[in-house]
Amino acid sequence: MPESARNTALTDLYRRHWPALKEICLRDERLSMPYLAWVHPDYEQARTRLVIVGKETNGWGDRECVLRAEPEDAVRLLMHTYRGFELGTHYPGKRSFWTPVHELYRLLNPNGPALGFVALNASKMDLRGAIPGEEVRSALTQTRLLPDEIRILQPHVVVFHTGPKYERWLDGWFPGLARAGDVWLARLTADGLPRLTFRTYHPRYLNYCSQRQAIYGRIVAEVASAT
């Protein structure tokens, strides 16, 4: 699927769900705007299409501006915000998350272009930089947005950097999700996920425990043995 077709499909998906997303945002003024993805042309050039799934943002979007906008404009504004963020390339706190996931992308695509992966989140919104509660989780997972995003992106590899505390989010998005592996790295199996789907900890915790190099090495080795 060409880059423009993926973004068209994502735009249509987000517009269709915008009323539900807006309604969730209006429940609590502390919630961020939803994290709506945009696919860089580099994604189509990557040998191994990679999707990273993090936890949640640390603030996202201009709440007042987005909530006042018409649905099409709201979606456009949020996808433009994602595009301008450039996968955290210039983010001041990039060392805790973005620098590591760029490293993983380069390990899977040694000669790939710079912005050839897509980053999503287990939670489309944050609550003042933290994970929202059960009510928001239930409302968001009922939209089926994350499985639909992955379906549109057609990745070869998905890596959830969510750790074990977000398992209820993953179970909500992917009913019947099965896990195999250990506490550091698990293979995930569910309808809507590619065969090479992994769950590990947030990169900050992997760094703290001096495990990032080992875990990324295991992911790369499993991908190489399967392709």
CA dihedral 147, 150, 156, 158 (to 10 degrees): -70
Both tokens of 110, joined, read 């040694």
Domain count, the chain: 1
CATH number of the domain at 216, please: 3.40.470
Nearest Cα residue to 15 out of 97, 89, 78, 91: 78
Instruction: State residue 48's pLDDT score.
Output: 98
CA dihedral 198, 85, 98, 36 (to 10 degrees): -20
Where do the DSSP E strands lie in 100-177?
117-121, 157-161
Query: Which letter does DSSP use for residue 125 in this model?
Result: S
What pTM does this model have? 0.96
Instruction: State residue 164's pLDDT score.
Output: 87
Instruction: State residue 220's pLDDT score.
Output: 98
List, run by run, the mean pLDDT of 10-residue segments along the chain (227 residues).
Answer: 83 98 96 98 97 96 96 97 96 93 98 97 96 96 98 98 94 97 96 97 97 98 94
Instruction: State residue 101's pLDDT score.
Output: 97
Question: What is the domain range of residue 126?
Answer: 3-226
